[in-house]
Amino acid sequence: MGMRERVNTALKQAMRDKATTQLATLRLISAAIKDRDIAERGIGNDDGVGDTEVLAIMGKMVKQRQESARQYEEAGRLDLAEREQAEIEVIEDFLPRKLNEDEVAKAIDATISDVGANSIRDMGKIMGALKSKYTGQMDFGSVGPMVKDRLS
C-alpha cells in the first residue's frame, strides 16, 4: 500500500473514530500532497508525486511543526506547543523509523564506497544517493557536514 492510500485509509478511520486532532492533521497532509500534485501537473508530470516525495513532504511538515512548537514554548503558549506536538506524532506514524547515529554513519560509509567517492566534489552524488535511499529516515541537514568530514 502506497503512502497516499495509507493517508486516505487513516483519514477515513479518523472520521469514523471522531479523532479530531488526527483528522485535522491528516487533512493537512492530504492537502499538502494535493498541492504538490497540482504543481507537478503544471510542469507536465500528470502522475503527481510518488511515495518518496510524499515522505519528503511529511518530513518538511514535521520540521515546520517542531519549529512552531519551539517558538510557542519560548512565548509561553504551552497549549499551542502541545497541539503542534500532537500533530508531529500523527505525521511521524507514517514516516519510517529514524536511523540512530551509528546507523547513519554506516549508511554514509556504505554510500561513499558504493559511489566510489574520494573527494569533496563527489558530495552531490553521495547526498543524492542517500536521499533516494533514506528519505524520511535521517536528517539531511546534519548528514551533510558528516559527509563533508569523511571526504576531507
- Domain edges within the chain: 3-92, 101-151
Residues 126 and 115: beta-carbon distance below 8 Å: yes
State the pLDDT at residue 51: 80
Q: Which residue has the cell 507537478?
A: 40
State the pLDDT at residue 3: 83
Q: Per the CATH hierarchy, to which homologous superfamily does domain 3-92 belong?
A: Uncharacterised protein YqeY/AIM41, N-terminal domain (1.10.1510.10)
State the pLDDT at residue 15: 92
Q: Say how far apart CA 22 and CA 60 lie, in whole Å.
A: 18
pTM, full prediction? 0.71
Residue 103 CA to its chain's centroid (Å)? 18
**pLDDT tens, N- to C-terminus, the chain (152 residues):** 688 888 899 999 999 999 898 999 999 999 999 998 888 888 877 777 788 788 888 888 988 999 999 999 999 999 999 999 999 999 988 887 888 888 888 888 888 888 887 778 888 888 888 888 887 778 777 888 888 888 77
Domain at 101-151, CATH class: mainly alpha
State the pLDDT at residue 120: 82
State the pLDDT at residue 1: 62
